[in-house]
Structure 1
Amino acid sequence: MDAPKKIKITDPKVALAKAESFCAYQERSQQEVRDKLYDWGLWPDAIEQIISELIQSNFLNEDRFAKAYTKGKFSQKAWGRIKIKQGLKLKRVPDVLIKKALLTIDLDDYLAALTRLLDKKAGSIIEKNAFKRRYKLQQYAMGRGYEADLISEVLKVSDL
């Protein structure tokens, strides 16, 4: 069975039109668009020109992307700030925009999400030893990107 053929685009106008629809479908980071344009086989000069045109026409906005990514990962996947920050860094979003996006998460909602996450996980842990149980819950929440001090606070208060 043959692998799907890669799309090769040499005309910058065609690439711009495809990139616009790529960006219109959902928010994208500059790096995602850049990677897609390289996959299409465009030259670096053409890629940077297309990126700047997408920014000027507001198809591409890193600030908007960072906020949408943060909101989505927090509300849909219940990720913590650390994991969201790592995800944004992988997308090469500037640190200033990452900090700004993380500030959009309400602290009360954040603590409520962490509490829900720990309550749900506590129901599936069979461990009888209280210390091991607490350790497993803490490790799970840290793996989801939550801060250790907040996890400890929630575990003290909720008595899981």
Structure 2
Amino acid sequence: MNEINTPKEALQKLERFCAYQERCHNEVVSKLLSLKMTTAEIDLIVVQLIENNFLNETRFACTFARGKHRIKKWGKIRITSELKARHISSYNINLALKEITPEEYYTTFENIAERCWNNLTETNLLKKRKKFCDYLLRRGYESNLVYEKLKELETKA
């Protein structure tokens, strides 16, 4: 493995790292720390990455929110908490959540809820209800949506 000795080499490595996929500041700083860069070097490299548009927290947050919702079918609560864990600002989190249209969000929720309810083989109704709610809440959907959907599905059954 190549040893990174200079900030210039680290910058080139991090440009490739950021070009491969969107990154948040935290990931970049962790990577630089693993390359044994000093705090001053890290600050300099991060500034250069931002100036050259390799690193953009708003773009990261929006891409993250869209991807996690469309691919992993996460709800807004889970997306928000994951972004907060990555130290993304509230402003960027709110922008990111606007990337998901209410229609798309509701359609995804409906599909995942229907599929979950129909796939549960639990015969005890109380256990089935708990498994259904736990699953959707873990996915990050709002409790009022989950409980309304539960009532709707129980009346159909």
TM-score, normalised to structure 1's length?
A: 0.90
Which 4+ residue blocks in structure 1 deviate beyond 6 angstroms?
none
Q: Of 7, 12, 21, which aligns to 1:26?
A: 21
- Once residues 42 and 84 of structure 1 are traced to their aligned partners in structure 2, the CA distance between those partners, rounded to angstroms, is 31
Asked whether the equivalents of residues 9 and 42 of structure 1 are also in contact (C-alpha less than 8 Å), the reply is no
Q: Which of these residues, 106, 110, 123, is aligned with residue 118 of structure 2?
A: 123
Q: Distance in 1 between matches of 2:124 and 2:111?
A: 22
2:62 matched residue in structure 1: 67
Q: Aligned runs of 1:8-157 on 2, under 5 Å? A: 8-157=3-152
Shift of 1:87: 1.1
CA distance in structure 2 between the partners assigned to 1:33 and 1:123 by the alignment: 43
Percent of aligned positions that are identical: 37
TM-score, normalised to structure 2, is 0.91
Displacement of 1:11 in angstroms is 0.1
Secondary structure, counterpart of 2:71 in structure 1: helix
User: Is there any run of 5+ residues in structure 1 with no aligned partner, and where?
Assistant: none
Query: What is the alpha-carbon distance in structure 2 between the residues aligned to residue 120 and residue 154 of structure 1?
Result: 12
User: Is the Cα–Cα contact under 8 Å of residues 8 and 41 in structure 1 kept in the other structure?
Assistant: no
Q: How far apart are 1:135 and its partner, in Å?
A: 2.4
Q: Gaps (5+ residues) in structure 2? A: none
CA RMSD of aligned residues (A): 1.6
